[in-house]
């Protein structure tokens, strides 16, 4: 039976309040500081990735949990307006929607998150029919959702049993432990960390993004490492592929890695080999930085292909 969805995204959704850039150290003592811009937009690695994939033309469903409050309804309605099926998004009457404040400074940022429903999201929140109806299952923010993390190996195993492929973007570990991933990596086809995360995930034997990717790919998944303006690389356990960065005038890097994830998954589902998916993903991540917020400037499929052609590295 044909799959109803190209992609099921599982995980975190929260509003992002993005302020910056800070031009001086953050001041306490009830001091008020002015910044150039501020935005209120869709946040959460999983939610931004889902919006990016829908923008690229994929049939996308989202599953997770938010509060039954104004913020939760904003997320549900905004995801739906961007083409994401939200019937798997549970509205929790007892806990608030997570909220993140992002303070930007140059090409860096500080992230403050109130977890709300993140701690109670579990595999039980993911409808069985959505798993069965999806070609690919992506999940993210592994360390922010401990109950979901514990259920992920079984969840991804079920996805595999239904013929789906799987991917994981762990994001940061606020506890800085970076442990407990062996079981989930065994069920992950594509791992999508950034360079700093890859080094932490790979352990003390990793001395560079290249060695980290090689070590992580030896544990099972195709490992795709995002490396900011330097582009990206991937390792399948045998071969290393690299793609250079795309020069763009950067307005805001929030969510660029999630847009990269959407591009890599979309290209892979289109049948592109890893080296081509890598080039396409770099473009998707770079173009997403042209406006404030993680979703405003996410490209369409044709727009990303046009930019690849302009760089002299078109997909074949």
Describe the crossing of helices 256-269 and 45-55 by its angle, rounded to 10 degrees.
Answer: 50
> Is the distance from CB of 183 to CB of 220 less than 8 angstroms?
no
Smallest CA-to-CA distance from 285 within 232, 222, 241, 209 is with 232
The pTM of this model reads: 0.95
Structural domains for the chain: 5-23+34-310 (3.40.1190.20)
pLDDT of residue 292: 84
User: Which tens digit of pLDDT belongs to each residue from 224-283?
Assistant: 999 988 999 999 999 999 999 988 888 888 899 999 999 999 999 999 999 999 999 999
The alpha carbons of the chain give a radius of gyration, in whole angstroms, of 18
pLDDT in tens, the chain (316 residues): 578 999 999 999 999 999 999 999 999 999 999 999 898 999 999 999 999 999 999 999 999 999 999 999 999 999 999 999 999 999 999 999 999 999 988 878 899 999 999 999 999 999 999 999 999 999 999 999 999 999 999 999 999 999 999 999 999 999 999 999 999 999 999 999 999 999 999 999 899 999 999 999 999 999 999 998 899 999 999 999 999 998 888 888 889 999 999 999 999 999 999 999 999 999 999 999 999 889 999 999 999 999 888 876 666 5
Longest CA pairwise span in the chain (Å): 62
Residue 173 class from Cβ within 10 Å (0-12 exposed, 13-18 middle, 19+ buried)?
Answer: middle
> Is the distance from CB of 263 to CB of 56 less than 8 angstroms?
yes
- Per DSSP (E only), the strands in the chain are 5-10, 14-20, 37-43, 60-67, 84-92, 99-105, 108-114, 134-140, 165-169, 190-191, 222-226, 232-235, 240-243
């Amino acid at each position: 039976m044909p799959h109803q969805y190209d992609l099921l995204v599982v995980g975190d959704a929260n509003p992002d309040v993005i302020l910056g850039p800070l031009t001086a150290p953050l001041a306490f003592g009830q001091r008020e500081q002015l910044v150039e811009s501020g935005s209120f937009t869709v946040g959460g690695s999983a939610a931004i990735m889902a919006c990016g994939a829908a923008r690229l033309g994929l049939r996308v469903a989202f599953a997770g949990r938010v509060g039954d409050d104004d913020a939760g309804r904003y997320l549900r309605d905004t995801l739906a307006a961007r083409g994401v099926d939200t019937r798997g998004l549970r509205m929790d009457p007892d806990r608030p929607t997570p909220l993140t404040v992002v303070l930007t400074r140059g090409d860096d940022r500080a992230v403050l998150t109130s977890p709300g429903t993140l701690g109670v999201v579990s595999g039980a929140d993911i409808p069985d029919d959505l798993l069965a109806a999806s070609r690919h299952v992506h999940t993210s923010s592994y360390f922010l959702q401990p109950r979901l993390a514990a259920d992920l190996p079984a969840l991804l195993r079920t996805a595999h049993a239904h013929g789906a492929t799987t991917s994981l973007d762990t994001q940061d570990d606020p506890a800085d432990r970076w442990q407990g991933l062996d079981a989930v990596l065994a069920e992950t086809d594509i791992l999508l960390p950034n360079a700093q995360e890859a080094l932490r995930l790979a352990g003390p034997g990793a001395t560079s993004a290249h060695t980290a990717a090689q070590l992580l790919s030896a544990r099972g998944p195709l490992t795709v490492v995002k490396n900011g303006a330097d582009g990206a690389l991937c390792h399948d356990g045998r071969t290393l592929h690299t793609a250079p960065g795309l020069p763009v005038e950067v307005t805001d890097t929030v969510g660029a890695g999630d847009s990269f994830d959407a591009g890599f998954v979309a290209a892979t589902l289109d049948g592109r080999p890893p080296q081509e998916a890598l080039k396409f993903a770099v473009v998707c991540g770079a173009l997403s930085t042209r406006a404030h917020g993680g979703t405003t400037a996410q490209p369409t499929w044709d727009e990303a292909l046009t930019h690849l052609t302009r760089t002299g590295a078109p997909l074949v």
